[in-house]
Amino acid sequence: MQNFNKITLKNGLRIILAPKDDSLATTVLILVEAGSKYETKEINGISHFLEHMCFKGTKKRPKSIDISSELDAIGASYNAFTGQEYTGYYAKARIEHFDKILDVVSDIYLNPVFNQKEINKERGVIIEEINMYEDLPKRRVQELFTALLYGDQPAGWDIAGEKEVIKKINRADFIKYKNSHYLPQATLVVVSGKFDKNAIEKIKKIFSSIKIGKKNSKIKTKEFQAKPEILIKHKESDQTHLVLGVRTFDIFDERKYALQVLSDILGGGMSSRLFQKVREELGAAYYVYSSADLYTDHGYLAVPAGVDNKRVEIVIKAILGEFKKLAQKPVSKKELERSKEHLLGHLFLSLETSDEIASFYGGQEILTGKIVSPNELVKKIQAVKAEEIQQIAREIFKNGKLNLALIGPFKEKSQFEKILNLS
């Protein structure tokens, strides 16, 4: 499996090179420790709004069309994204266009002009994006789930922010926020695929102009829960979308590898327990799966599902039943091996492309400051024992950690309070 090389410049900027000599493409990914968990209530949504504004013009490319046309002209794939703990900007193109995508992506990151007219226009775009998510219950219910878990603190806020806040954010807010977070010690440049042998020197030269400053830290997420919690959003719909899940632990916990296997056994793929039970046996849902989402100071395991309105209670009971089985009985050797191979197979298939390689290395580095290589990850996943999975199941599948978020034609919590029980 490909090697990687990490260096840290004197100003704190980190560079990761992940070569893949047989790649037909190269990817440049810039990650920065700036996301919704670094915001205050007054500017909730600014990380995401700023990401949009970086594409609206730079000193070198004053208009958005100057950026997009330059990348489109070389057939590049490009975008940006904002999460709770970091923001990313990337472009992927044929290997002969490495210099071009490095120049454009770094320019977007380093030199946005934050034109006030463009800010005013983009407010409407952001608000329509928020409206779009409101009309996508499959996605919206996941935001309600984190709001239920963490309440009125950054981990519980929507990444896109509140409409009323978006309407007030101005140019001075962007400049202040960028100067507080878009700093070398909080920034990582990843180059992956096949690329120029002088990549490091080129990155050093471009980022020699990055502003130095003191990084603002984020508020630590607080966990508080004593009993099962429920959040219902009433919406007349043909299908109920729900997320049923539990609190777990953060990304630094070594049990995360066993949790990954547990989640895969539960709802990873069409042969998983939940898919077989809820879709194949009950015929009550089109989608149902499990995911373990771990961050620097919190984490959770969630089971999203789109369910027949009349059979919501049956599905919730079925999911709870699978939680209990994992806690009560060790998984078989056959199922354990199948799950491990499923996880690792997906990992290695994804690492065939330069953008996924960049995400694999960059995502680990920006969150933990430590990288586990694909080969090391294989060893850690293969080492997971059935007893470890059962032990974690016993710890996380408890009433005091249960949370249910739901969007559908329901108004009262009482019918769900009666069944949300693992004892």
Summarize the confidence of residues 202-208 as an average pLDDT.
95
- The predicted pLDDT at position 422 comes to 95
Interval 27-36: pLDDT, tens: 999 999 999 9
> Pairing state of beta strands 14-19 and 187-193?
parallel
Residue 1 pLDDT more than 70? no
> Pairing state of beta strands 229-234 and 291-294?
unpaired
What DSSP assignment string belongs to 341-357? HHHHHHHHHHTTSHHHH
Interval 56-97: pLDDT, tens: 999 999 999 999 999 999 999 999 999 999 999 999 999 999
CA distance 391 to 325: 12
Domains of the chain, each with CATH number or no CATH: 5-209 (3.30.830.10), 229-417 (3.30.830.10)
Q: pLDDT tier at 227 (50, 70, 90 boundaries)?
A: very high
Summarize the confidence of residues 50-54 as an average pLDDT.
98
Residue 416 pLDDT more than 70? yes
CA atoms in the 13 A half-sphere facing the CB of 28:
25
Interval 281-299: pLDDT, tens: 999 999 999 999 999 999 9
In sequence order, the 6+-apart residues with CB closer than 8 A to the CB of 137 are: 235, 237, 239, 241, 407, 408
**Residue pair 396/248 in contact by the 8 Å Cβ criterion:** yes
Find the radius of gyration of the CA atoms of the chain: 23
- The predicted pLDDT at position 209 comes to 85
**Three-state DSSP state, 218:** coil
Catalytic residues: 51
Residue 229 tokens read as 């919690």
CA distance 4 to 253: 24
- The predicted pLDDT at position 2 comes to 59
Interval 301-337: pLDDT, tens: 999 999 999 999 999 999 999 999 999 999 999 999 9
Interval 403-413: pLDDT, tens: 999 999 999 99
Q: pLDDT tier at 3 (50, 70, 90 boundaries)?
A: confident
pTM beyond cutoff 0.85: yes
Summarize the confidence of residues 254-266 as an average pLDDT.
98
Summarize the confidence of residues 225-242 as an average pLDDT.
96
In sequence order, the 6+-apart residues with CB closer than 8 A to the CB of 406 are: 141, 144, 230, 231, 232, 233, 240, 241, 242, 243, 312, 416
What average pLDDT does the chain have? 96
